[in-house]
Amino acid sequence: MKKAIESYWRGERSAYQVRRTLVAERRAVFETLREAGLSSVPCNDFSLYDQMLDTLVMVGAVPERHQGLFAGENADLETYFAMARGTAEVAPLEMTKWFDTNYHYLVPELGPDTTFALHPDQPVAEYRQARTLGLQARPVLIGPVTFLRLAKPAPGVDPGFDPMSLLERLLPVYEQMLTRLAAEGVAWVQLDEPALVQDQPRAVLDATAVALARLGGLATRPKLLVATYFGPAGEALAVLREAPVDGVGLDFTGPAVTNARDLATIGGLPGKRLVAGVVDGRNVWAADLRRQLDLLTTLQGLAEEVVVSTSCSLLHVPLDLEAETQLDPDLRRWFAFARQKTREVVTLARGITAGTTTIRDALQASDAVLRHRAGSPITRDPAVRDRVDAVTAADTHRPSAYPERAGAQARRLALPALPTTTIGSFPQTQALRSARARYRRGELDEAGYVQRMRAEVQHVIRLQEALGLDVLVHGEPERNDMVQYFAEQLAGFVTTRHGWVQSYGTRYVRPPVVVGDVSRPAPMTVGWTRYAQSLTGKPVKGMLTGPVTMLCWSFVRDDQPLEETAQQVALALRDEVADLEAAGTAVIQVDEPALREGLPLRAADRAAYLGWATRAFRLATSGVRDDTQIHTHMCYAEFGEILSAVVDLDTDVLSVEAARSHMAVAGDLSRAGYPSGVGPGVYDIHSPRVPGRPEITGLLRQALEHVPAGRLWVNPDCGLKTRDEPEVRASLANLVAAAGSLR
């Protein structure tokens, strides 16, 4: 699908061909699920770009700016992609994280004048296709509450506008959809309401009750399943229990296993079907079949009927473990990807309905895998454990406070006021990517590869010197990805060959997996940094990915608290920081762009997360001398709830995204008492636009209203890897000139 859609965008394939591919892929998925033996197969979950966008189309909420742009038979498809990606003239919808996953959805824009109208085509078409294959599929719709809770006020609308106020107007569209699906012969419809696992105000829970009463009260409708996932349903459980719907989906994995206790407390779901998400849909571990079977047995008393399921859609895990032929077969048994998870669901259901003896072999195999995993030296490395146990509070504190460190660093680095730097990466050209690929395939030997990368480092150093930047970087040409690069070198991580997971639209990432105790067998970046430093008299920044980001962008262990894994990663990075320092690196940046997205969905869990996350960062970075300068980088401008945690990181310099929000972050940090250096990004690296010198000077003047000149740094918003060299040259030349004129 990715290839079909992208070639359509390039004009190499017709809309007809894209639709053919969609239909063929959908058919393959339906058939796979049927062959796996699922008794109920979902549909309407096969998107050309994003399911929220599909829902927006279904309810007829296309923003005005995207309407009427196209004519002809492909107008709908073109409009769809215009909302997703924008056009030369019109901005796309904003994209943001789907709950606490790494998937991004498109944010509906609504206002008091928004009207809705039903466009039932996609759910109906998918249902009909499944029916031609002999399947009675279950259309999945994002529910009205989640749709509205994830929407935002349209541009130009009062920012205080609450999309939930449109519920009354939206419900008739859902009613029509359900009536329409009933007429098609649909037996069950699934309404996804993951918003119910977040803290919702009473008014939203009440509105949910009203909405479900309306939809459930329809005279002619399919049976309704309301699905929640990504955590415990909490207070929403009682609402779901009382609602006139036929089924409720709950997550029973990880901490959400408390749903079982809460369900018992409220007296279960009398008269309803419980869809029990006992197979983890978000992580890659093989299920503990025996434990999940026990759980299912206890759940059986709590509803009229229990159906076995994954905890959420399988969008967030890779497709098929069978493809990972390079993984050690012993290790491979520890995992289950989407296809394997489907089988686990079917096995558990058989165990429940036909008795445990019918799945004896599967249970024994599952026991053996768990025993093997628990007893493996990969899982428990005594040296790592001892080291974590020996960590003291002193290890998470720099020896001196910022003012003293700043003095020592100023003497060592002798930087001008408003020092200029970049965030790390320089353009990742096609030539670099293909050199890495050739090296991986064995077509380029190690020496040839190193030579090629060194040539690039040299080029980037010369470029920065010519531009007159003050603190240089080596450009990261050797890194495929800021997490994978380290995961490949750390013990305790494995990477996959085909484990692609959708990030947004046609973009996919391949998250590494933390399989066991993490340690660093050998230095990871020191050689490159030392080489870069050997080429110049200016300081070269060492460049690492922080412990929280390493975890947020990987699949994590399910057999110990995240905090413990974070400490292990932090200690491995601490060694790297120490080696960089010993190699003469005076400035070390530890990126934590994922600190904010790791924030738990429920407010009650956030303080604990921020506590261990900041401790892990400090454990990684506090072992250095006063005159070694620690930087961190984050790619967002609104810190909100994490502001005080950011102050707690106790870095010497923080670079952040700020250009698009007019430097507001500088004021936020100063109001929070942020004491040290700050580099609010002065230009947006997401755009090919070259910022002019006056524009940058203006932004810096704004920043100077909040940050004293002695602490202000000058840098772009983020790394430059997606830009091309002429843009980078022109933009950085203006950046350096702007800093110079202000000095």
Q: Which residues are annotated as part of the binding site?
A: 97, 423-425, 476, 553, 591, 597, 633, 635, 657, 718
Q: Should residue 543 be labelled a site residue for ligand GLN when binding is judged by CB under 6 A?
A: yes
The interface partner of residue 551, options being ligand GLN, Zn ion, none and the CB cut-off 5 to 8 Å by kind, is none
The interface partner of residue 623, options being Zn ion, ligand GLN, none and the CB cut-off 5 to 8 Å by kind, is none
Q: Which of residues 628-647 bind Zn ion (CB under 5 A)?
A: 635
Nearer to ligand GLN by C-beta: 23 or 509? 509
- Residue 570's beta-bridge partner residues? none
Range in contact with Zn ion (rule: CB under 5 A) among 142-150, 252-260, 452-460, 716-724: 716-724
Range in contact with ligand GLN (rule: CB under 6 A) among 256-264, 341-349, 419-427, 462-470: 419-427
CA distance 595 to 612: 11
**Least CB distance from residue 709 to ligand GLN, whole Å?**
25
Name every residue whose Cβ is closer than 8 Å to that of residue 197 and which is 6 or more positions away in sequence.
99, 228, 229, 230, 231, 232, 233, 234, 236, 251, 256, 601, 602
Nearer to ligand GLN by C-beta: 619 or 635? 635
**Least CB distance from residue 571 to ligand GLN, whole Å?**
21
Give the alpha-carbon dihedral of 117, 122, 126, 132, to 10 degrees: 80
Q: 485 near 479, Cβ under 8 Å? A: yes
Place of tokens 């031609």: 132
CA distance 368 to 374: 10
How many amino acids of this chain bind ligand GLN (CB under 6 A)? Answer: 12
CB atoms within 10 A of CB 270: 9
CB atoms within 10 A of CB 597: 17
The verdict on whether 686 is a catalytic residue reads yes
Q: Should residue 303 be labelled a site residue for ligand GLN when binding is judged by CB under 6 A?
A: no
Tokens of 553: 């962008």
Q: 594 near 552, Cβ under 8 Å? A: yes
Q: Should residue 424 be labelled a site residue for ligand GLN when binding is judged by CB under 6 A?
A: yes
Q: Should residue 43 be labelled a site residue for Zn ion when binding is judged by CB under 5 A?
A: no
Give the alpha-carbon dihedral of 454, 513, 550, 657, to 10 degrees: 90
Q: Should residue 685 be labelled a site residue for Zn ion when binding is judged by CB under 5 A?
A: no
Give the alpha-carbon dihedral of 658, 662, 663, 667, to 10 degrees: -130
Binding residue numbers for L-homocysteine: 423-425, 476, 591
Tokens of 101: 């996953």
Interface residue with ligand GLN among 633, 706, 711, 723 (CB under 6 A) is: 633
Nearer to Zn ion by C-beta: 186 or 658? 658
Tokens of 304: 């009229």
Q: Should residue 658 be labelled a site residue for Zn ion when binding is judged by CB under 5 A?
A: no
Q: Which of residues 463-492 bind ligand GLN (CB under 6 A)?
A: 482
**Least CB distance from residue 137 to ligand GLN, whole Å?**
39
Amino acid making up residue 65: R
Nearer to ligand GLN by C-beta: 123 or 546? 546
Binding residue numbers for 5-methyltetrahydropteroyltri-L-glutamate: 97, 553, 597
Q: Which of residues 582-621 bind ligand GLN (CB under 6 A)?
A: 591, 593
Interface residue with Zn ion among 84, 312, 501, 718 (CB under 5 A) is: 718
**Least CB distance from residue 679 to ligand GLN, whole Å?**
13
Range in contact with ligand GLN (rule: CB under 6 A) among 92-100, 321-329, 418-426, 667-675: 418-426
The interface partner of residue 665, options being ligand GLN, Zn ion, none and the CB cut-off 5 to 8 Å by kind, is none
Interface residue with ligand GLN among 233, 248, 295, 423 (CB under 6 A) is: 423
> Cα–Cα distances in Å, from 546 out to 101, 360, 398, 566, 608?
19, 44, 17, 10, 18
**Least CB distance from residue 719 to Zn ion, whole Å?**
6
The interface partner of residue 425, options being ligand GLN, Zn ion, none and the CB cut-off 5 to 8 Å by kind, is ligand GLN
Q: Which of 372, 459, 498, 686 is catalytic?
A: 686
> Cα–Cα distances in Å, from 320 out to 336, 487, 513, 678?
8, 21, 15, 44
**Least CB distance from residue 622 to ligand GLN, whole Å?**
20
CB atoms within 10 A of CB 412: 16
Question: In three state form, how does the secondary structure of 396-419 look?
Answer: HCCCCCHHHHHHHHHHHHCCCCCC
CA distance 236 to 248: 11
Q: Should residue 718 be labelled a site residue for ligand GLN when binding is judged by CB under 6 A?
A: yes
Provide the mask over 592-631, with x wherever binding to Zn ion is found by CB under 5 A and - wherever it is not: -x--------------------------------------
Q: Should residue 5 be labelled a site residue for ligand GLN when binding is judged by CB under 6 A?
A: no
Tokens of 82: 């215009």
The interface partner of residue 452, options being ligand GLN, Zn ion, none and the CB cut-off 5 to 8 Å by kind, is none
- If phi over 0 gives left and psi between -120 and 50 gives alpha, with beta otherwise, what is residue 600? beta
Nearer to Zn ion by C-beta: 549 or 565? 549
CA distance 699 to 711: 15
Q: How many CA atoms lie within 13 A of 288 on its CB side?
A: 14
**Least CB distance from residue 574 to Zn ion, whole Å?**
22
Range in contact with ligand GLN (rule: CB under 6 A) among 67-75, 366-374, 644-652, 715-723: 715-723
Question: In three state form, how does the secondary structure of 224-272 look?
Answer: EEEECCCCCCCCHHHHHHHCCCCEEEEECCHHHHHHHHHHHHCCCEEEE
Binding residue numbers for Zn(2+): 633, 635, 657, 718
Q: Binding residues for Zn ion, per CB under 5 A?
A: 593, 635, 718
Q: Binding residues for ligand GLN, per CB under 6 A?
A: 423-425, 482, 543, 591, 593, 633, 635, 718-719, 721
Provide the annotated active-site residues. 686
